[in-house]
Structure 1
Amino acid sequence: MTPADAPVLTALVLGSGGGGGVPQWNCNCRVCRLAWDSDPRVKPRTQSSLAVSADGERWLLLNASIDLRQQILGTPAMQPKGEGRHSPIAAALLTNTDVDHAAGLLALRERQPFTIWGTRATLDTIGANRIFDVVSPDLVPRRAVRLGMPFEPLPGLALELFPVPGKVPLWLEEGEVKTDAIGEGTVGVAVEAGGRRLVYAPGCAGVTDDLHKRIEKAHALFFDGTLFTDDEMIVNGLGDKTSRRMGHMPVSGPGGTLEGLARHAHVRRILIHINNSNPILVEGSPEEQHVKAAGWEVAYDGMEVAP
């Protein structure tokens, strides 16, 4: 392989918001109000998804956001080339089956070949809901991946899935819900190409030793930034669940992300999957300045990262 052909890891943030995006269609909280008013301090955001590539031509989706069609319209690298039907999207991987991470598969139903990757538990959940069969399995194969086993979904792009604490999707909750379960239901992704590494964990309820080890080896980290404080939804009158009950670490406070991952200052750290109520979305706010002072960035739609 010549130097010009050598793999180069590139990540495009297709969507940086949490469920509902920013502004959320039915929300008039402080952050959404600024977004509705087109205040330049709050960038509109679609629901979270990342695209990664080793060659800039073939792309792997890390989660298929419910806003995927809008994201393709806004991202030239995701648009068809040449004549007839074509897509640079060659594969998609799901980190869980939350609506905002999986429903975008339905936007890819026009008989275009690609591969869906995920844990056996994730693919079984998708397979149990026949609506996903509109993405025809005879043309779009589903490939199960074991945790901790490296695989190559695209040439030059090496991945490994690892468990992070999380819970079942909201639409599957029944009875008492364990919010920090470890298994195949919620995973992080370690991505490598050309000797550069990134870790992607848009949903995570706690820090584990394994997560620390993964981040330690990475050059860039995209991490769950859903809520700034644990009681954010309650204080803002938007719900009755804490961040931890929702299966997410709060960004701030004791045991939060800034504290829990402070040791990884050598890594480029980026918050993603940010809820519409989170004040870090307001540029220049005390909360945004706080995360920046701690060495973190706030993801935005269209952000490009080459670790």
Structure 2
Amino acid sequence: MASVLLTNADIDHVAGLLSLREAQSFSLLATPGVHQVLRTSSAFDVLAEGVVERRKVELGASFDLVEGVSATIFPVPGKIALYLEAREEADTGALVTDRQGEQTIGVELRLGEARVLFIPGCAAMTDALRERLAGADVVLFDGTLWRDDEMALAGVGAKTGRRMGHMSMSGAEGSMAALEGLDIGRRIYVHINNTNPVLIDGSPERVAANRAGWEIAEDGMEILL
């Protein structure tokens, strides 16, 4: 493994770094804001200096992720990680947005002529984001929830998808509707929560997603360009 590029500081995005502490050399790339979050937690000191190179990458800048793969990061609508919110904000349910644009990003990868967009977290669709996604060979997009109140319906939490900074797949304001009609080679949902019925092969939700041209990511999936 040569590089790890973080798209945000959510627990499910950074916790895996702690299993890479056995003096394994790699580059850790993130925005200055996400690097600051890691610096404030002593747990991440196990990524020893001199072994793990911590590289700051700026929004809009292109850089080599690994040999033959260049990357550009860009801000997407989102929010800071839930565990970084102040207690009073968490209790009131206030949505703490990412005002600086460094806590939630998307990644555009270029492999030769191919263009791949990776956006595992997105709170809303914008005209600028639609324009960037148009013409991509592959789009890997936030598929956390099928519907906004899914967590409450499943009895596993009170927060809505919007409160957590995620668009729903379905509905008039969902990602399927937002990206309908765009010229995209393959569109694949990733970052899918275990409450999402789209994970069930043959479910009405899976059928609807497939009919709309979406694939559902799975372990071991390979994408040929």
**Which TM-score band (shorter chain)?**
over 0.9
Out of 163, 172, 175, the residue aligned to residue 254 of structure 1 is: 172
Corresponding position of 1:125: 37
Which one has a larger percent helix, Structure 1 or Structure 2? 2
Corresponding position of 2:22: 110
Corresponding position of 1:276: 194
Amino acid at match of 1:188: G
Task: Report the 3-state secondary structure (helix = DSSP H, G, I; strand = E; otherwise coil) of the residue aligned with 2:189.
Answer: strand
User: In structure 2, how many angstroms separate the alpha carbons of the residues matched to 1:296 and 1:181?
Assistant: 31
Out of 113, 127, 139, the residue aligned to residue 221 of structure 1 is: 139
Task: Tell whether 2:112 aligns with 1:162.
Answer: no
The alignment's TM-score, normalised by the length of structure 2, stands at: 0.93
* Structure 1 gap ranges (5+): 1-88
CA deviations on 1:157-177 (whole Å, 9 max, x unpaired) are 110000011111111112233
CA deviations on 1:198-219 (whole Å, 9 max, x unpaired) are 0000010011222212211310
Task: Report the 3-state secondary structure (helix = DSSP H, G, I; strand = E; otherwise coil) of the residue aligned with 2:163.
Answer: coil
User: In structure 1, how many angstroms separate the alpha carbons of the residues matched to 2:117 and 2:136?
Assistant: 6
Corresponding position of 1:199: 117
TM superposition shift of 1:147: 0.3
Structure 1 segments of 4+ aligned residues over 6 angstroms from their partners:
none
Amino acid at match of 2:85: E
Task: Tell whether 2:49 aligns with 1:137.
Answer: yes
Out of 82, 104, 108, the residue aligned to residue 190 of structure 1 is: 108
Task: Tell whether 2:218 aligns with 1:300.
Answer: yes
Query: Which range moves more in the overlay, 262-271 or 110-119?
Result: 262-271
TM superposition shift of 1:237: 1.6
User: In structure 2, how many angstroms separate the alpha carbons of the residues matched to 1:269 and 1:181?
Assistant: 28
Corresponding position of 1:52: none
Task: Tell whether 2:185 aligns with 1:267.
Answer: yes
User: In structure 1, how many angstroms separate the alpha carbons of the residues matched to 2:135 and 2:40?
Assistant: 36
Amino acid at match of 1:187: I
TM superposition shift of 1:234: 1.3
What is the total number of aligned residue pairs between the two structures? 219
The alignment's TM-score, normalised by the length of structure 1, stands at: 0.69
Identical columns (%): 47
Task: Report the 3-state secondary structure (helix = DSSP H, G, I; strand = E; otherwise coil) of the residue aligned with 1:287.
Answer: helix
Task: Report the 3-state secondary structure (helix = DSSP H, G, I; strand = E; otherwise coil) of the residue aligned with 2:36.
Answer: helix
Task: Report the 3-state secondary structure (helix = DSSP H, G, I; strand = E; otherwise coil) of the residue aligned with 1:100.
Answer: helix
Task: Report the 3-state secondary structure (helix = DSSP H, G, I; strand = E; otherwise coil) of the residue aligned with 1:305.
Answer: coil
Amino acid at match of 1:228: W
Alignment RMSD (CA, Å): 1.3
Larger relative contact order (CA 8 Å, sep ≥ 6):
1
* Structure 2 gap ranges (5+): none
Determine if contact 1:91/1:153 at 8 Å carries over to the other structure. Answer: yes
CA deviations on 1:12-55 (whole Å, 9 max, x unpaired) are xxxxxxxxxxxxxxxxxxxxxxxxxxxxxxxxxxxxxxxxxxxx
Query: Which range moves more in the overlay, 155-164 or 233-242?
Result: 233-242
